[in-house]
A and B are shown apart, each in its own frame.
Chain A
Amino acid sequence: MDYFAQQLINGLVLGSIYGLIAIGYTMVYGIVGMINFAHGDIFMIGGFIALISFLVLVSLGLTAIPLILLIVLLVSMAITALYGWTVERIAYRPLRHSFRLAPMLSAIGMSFVLTNYSQIAQGARVKPVPPIIRGGYMLHEGAGGFIVQLSNVQVLVVVTTVVLLALFTWLVSRTRLGRDMRACEQDQTMAALLGVDVDRTISMTFVIGAALAAVAGMMYLLYYGLVDFFMGFVAGIKAFTAAVLGGIGSLPGAMLGGLAIGLIETMWSAYFSVEYKDVAAFSILIVVLIFMPTGLLGRPEVEKV
């Protein structure tokens, strides 16, 4: 039981990270109707920028950990958001009226560009960082001496996710930008006729998605203590699975799907086999798309002739 509780905690933390990435997929799919294949790599770039800015700040002589974390968070969100904007501007916007497969293929190309760009810029080796936030709480000591732990990093990840999700829900439901986004999601032409700047709204969607992916990248760095140039691919597919599982286009769904995928992956590793955890995640994607294409909270897609 204690072992299960520990895995539950680990799964929820991993799920929060997936959920943050999944929001980017689900928003872009909701508005533009394309799978932003490069989003996983944006997450990876976010992790790298967090790593580098952290390193620079420490060597500049800053010692207050909370201040460092705050600056790193803001810097990586800002720069990664610019990456998201640039990717949209270069690779997707010229293709908005092109044939259906074009944005998808362009996104695959962009994903290769980002992966190899960071490999060339930062080298192929895994970059480890020493644990930045130490300590934690002992929740329960079991009979066999097994201790259920909740580390401070895990608390930080979950709290950050919850805060960002609340902020983001407010943004979408209460602000002008959120209204524009929902309008574009329903009908871009009509939204444009009513004075919504469609291009700008779509750009902002990518910017917000990338910023959230940057947070996920930073959390990944803090939690696992490493980044490498190839981590975006698998994390991206899993986050996409999360978005599909939760119902693509739905924000709470993306978070719910992220938590579900995180839990399933952790439990699978804990009770079955670590080697096949990715196979399990990919199989879920296939099974969900076949039996429940609208996901948990999605709306059915009506095909018009």
Chain B
Amino acid sequence: MSAPPAAASQASIAPGAAFIFKKALISALVALVLFSLMIGVRTEAGPQGQLIYWTRFGDLAAIVGVVFGGSIIVELLRQWWGPVGTIRVVPPAMQNALSIAGRLVAPVLLIFTFLVPVIFYNQRYILDLGILVLTYVMLGWGLNVVVGLAGLLDLGYVAFYAVGAYSYALLATIFGLSFWVCLPLAGILAACWGVLLGFPVLRLRGDYLAIVTLAFGEIIRLVIINWQSLTGGPNGVSGIPRPTLFGIPLTPGENGLAAKLGIEFSPTHRIVFLFYLILALALLTNWVTIRLRRLPIGRAWEALREDEVACRALGINTTTTKLTAFATGAMFGGFAGAFFATRQGFISPESFTFQESALVLAIVVLGGMGSQLGVALAALAMIGGFELFRGLDQYRMLVFGIAMVLLMIWRPRGLIGHRAPTVFLERNQAISSDLVKEGHG
């Protein structure tokens, strides 16, 4: 991590108590002006439709006080921590221990995940949460192909999720196709949409690409809302069939799986089945990604992420490279969408807002962009964190936004933050890949 020279020189002057106090006072003053009208005065539409307002100066004073105290604490912490960008030397013994632990995390986590339905069989809540986390792990791994490997910032990933979900929902409710027929179809359709999006944005780079994918995601959502005859508009699609174990339904009836196996029926069976289904899908995503990384196409993705111009100079076809990245990522999004539809039994455009795209992107970034294990841990942390704030529903997105900003300031490279290319020259150059401008494609 390279430190901005300005920050280092500022921090080298040891500030005294008066300085800290002055800084906190300024922060409090700024906060007072910022929040004076927005917090101090609350407006609401009255019973006759005219606006009424009441004051909340107590809240305002409390917030200003918190800002004052908080900025003193932050300043003290900053002094204690020392200048930003100092390289902290980790003792070799600890480094070894960390690397061993790092190698063990993935298998342990995988075994634990397999055992979750066994351990928590009677706790429906944990199983549901596990399914949710795995869905986001899968989405994160899918988006990781586009963002983490190919370096194409995609803010409209939820569009493919929506395409997958609506493909399954409509094919199943209109044509009565089974889940296992629809799953590949949903993936293929989503991949087609990925190529469709990929073609026009081939020439764009960086921020422009991000904003176009965002617009694309919004267009898909708006079309779903407005094309009422097909999608049911804002009311969504309901009565989506539940998945079957290759044709055997998980119902209490004669033909049900429980009756065939001769065990007593329990609604938990379906939850456990769904859990292993999404686990299998997620592991498929992971396996395909890992394999693809070792193929020429995966190497080309990474090269594209590092430097598009050099890539083209080396004769890599950037068109196919980008399109395959989009298509692969979209396909996994489509799989996840089909799974989402069958799990919920009901889908509506509300599930596919920009917030979802941002959440998945935040998972990928938090996971360190390109690290499979990092993405899984990030999804666990993110969704688990969201669950912790369940009681404070309206503060959830606020905290999410703050976390995203703080994460970018403190650890812009994510939690597991070393993004090294899979292949590199034996003799390292003076400039590490971390310093090279990225997202350049």
Asked if A108 lies at the interface with its beta carbon under 8 angstroms from chain B, I say yes
**Would you call B53 and A109 a contact (CB within 8 A)?**
no
**Would you call B215 and A285 a contact (CB within 8 A)?**
yes
**Would you call A79 and B208 a contact (CB within 8 A)?**
no
**Would you call A100 and B219 a contact (CB within 8 A)?**
no
Q: B146 → chain A, closest Cβ, in Å?
A: 13
* The residue from A95, A129, A240 contacting B408, defined by CB atoms under 8 A apart: A95
A78 to B310, CA, bound (A): 47
Counting contact residues on chain B (CB < 8 A from A), the size range is: 35 or more
A51 to B44, CA, bound (A): 11
* Partner-contacting stretch, out of B105-113, B265-273, B393-401: B393-401
**Would you call A109 and B403 a contact (CB within 8 A)?**
yes
Asked if B418 lies at the interface with its beta carbon under 8 angstroms from chain A, I say no
Asked if B39 lies at the interface with its beta carbon under 8 angstroms from chain A, I say yes
Interface Cβ pair total, 8 Å cutoff = 194
Chain B residues touching A, majority SS: helix
Which residues, 93 to 107 on A, are CB-close (under 8 Å) to B? 94-106
A111 to B361, CA, bound (A): 15
Across-interface contacts of A130 in B (CB, < 8 A): 50
**Would you call A56 and B401 a contact (CB within 8 A)?**
no
Q: B57 → chain A, closest Cβ, in Å?
A: 13
Asked if B33 lies at the interface with its beta carbon under 8 angstroms from chain A, I say yes
Asked if A245 lies at the interface with its beta carbon under 8 angstroms from chain B, I say no
Q: A296 → chain B, closest Cβ, in Å?
A: 16
The residue in chain B whose Cβ has the minimal distance to the Cβ of A56 is B41
Across-interface contacts of B394 in A (CB, < 8 A): 116, 119-120
* The residue from B6, B200, B206, B355 contacting A100, defined by CB atoms under 8 A apart: B206
Across-interface contacts of B214 in A (CB, < 8 A): 237
Asked if A110 lies at the interface with its beta carbon under 8 angstroms from chain B, I say yes
Across-interface contacts of B49 in A (CB, < 8 A): 128
The residue in chain B whose Cβ has the minimal distance to the Cβ of A101 is B439
* The residue from A90, A95, A120 contacting B395, defined by CB atoms under 8 A apart: A120
**Would you call A122 and B42 a contact (CB within 8 A)?**
yes
**Would you call A82 and B440 a contact (CB within 8 A)?**
no
**Would you call A112 and B397 a contact (CB within 8 A)?**
yes
* The residue from B37, B39, B204, B309 contacting A53, defined by CB atoms under 8 A apart: B37
A86 to B409, CA, bound (A): 15
A140 to B408, CA, bound (A): 56
Asked if A187 lies at the interface with its beta carbon under 8 angstroms from chain B, I say no
**Would you call A106 and B404 a contact (CB within 8 A)?**
yes
Asked if B211 lies at the interface with its beta carbon under 8 angstroms from chain A, I say yes
Asked if B362 lies at the interface with its beta carbon under 8 angstroms from chain A, I say yes
* The residue from A35, A83, A305 contacting B210, defined by CB atoms under 8 A apart: A35
Across-interface contacts of B51 in A (CB, < 8 A): 51, 55, 127-129
Asked if A16 lies at the interface with its beta carbon under 8 angstroms from chain B, I say no
**Would you call A123 and B33 a contact (CB within 8 A)?**
no
A94-B409, A113-B405 are known contacts. Are A52 and B153 too (CB-CB below 8 A)? Answer: no
Across-interface contacts of A117 in B (CB, < 8 A): 38, 398
Asked if A126 lies at the interface with its beta carbon under 8 angstroms from chain B, I say yes
Q: B336 → chain A, closest Cβ, in Å?
A: 21
Asked if B259 lies at the interface with its beta carbon under 8 angstroms from chain A, I say no
A289 to B208, CA, bound (A): 8
A95-B412, A121-B39, A282-B218 are known contacts. Are A105 and B404 too (CB-CB below 8 A)? Answer: yes
* Partner-contacting stretch, out of A166-174, A251-259, A261-269, A273-281: A273-281
* The residue from B36, B53, B211 contacting A285, defined by CB atoms under 8 A apart: B211
Asked if B365 lies at the interface with its beta carbon under 8 angstroms from chain A, I say yes
Question: Residues on A close to B: CB < 8 A?
Answer: 34-35, 45, 48-49, 51-53, 55-56, 59, 75, 79, 82-83, 86, 90-91, 94-106, 108-123, 125-130, 199, 233, 237, 240-241, 244, 275-276, 278-279, 282-283, 285-286, 289-290, 293, 303, 305
Question: Residues on B close to A: CB < 8 A?
Answer: 2, 4, 6-7, 30, 33-39, 41-45, 49-51, 53, 153, 155, 200-201, 203-204, 206-208, 210-212, 214-216, 218-219, 222-223, 225-226, 309-310, 354-355, 358, 361-362, 365, 394-395, 397-398, 400-405, 407-409, 412-413, 437-440
Given A121-B42, A128-B45, 14 more contacts at CB 8 Å? A45-B38, A48-B37, A51-B43, A52-B38, A86-B30, A91-B408, A109-B402, A109-B403, A113-B398, A113-B402, A275-B225, A286-B215, A286-B216, A305-B309
